[in-house]
Amino acid sequence: MKEELKETTNSMAPTVKEMVKLGKDMDKMKTNTEIIENGMIPDPKQ
């Protein structure tokens, strides 16, 4: 797998290593349903 990607590919995670880290971070995030079940208000859709 190519380690470095073109800058224009993804500004949030320009390298494969950063994409993997971002994916792991996102897996840990709660869904809106889970947030509502905990009595909290989810972020509005953008």
Residue 10 counted as domain residue? yes
pTM across the whole model: 0.52
pLDDT at 21 (0 to 100)? 92
Helix (H), strand (E) at residue 42:
none
Give pLDDT, residue 40.
94
> How many domains does the chain fold into?
1
* Domain range enclosing 23: 1-28
Does some domain include residue 40? no
The alpha carbon torsion through 1, 8, 12, 37 (nearest 10 deg) reads -100
Transcribe 5-24 into DSSP letters.
--TTT-SS--BHHHHHHHHH
DSSP of 20-40:
HHHHHHHHHSPPHHHHHHTT-
Q: Is the residue at 43 inside a domain?
A: no
Taking only the tens place, the pLDDT of each residue in 5-46 is 555 555 777 888 998 999 999 999 999 999 999 999 998 877
pLDDT over 80 at 3, yes or no: no
Q: For residue 45, give the DSSP letter.
A: P
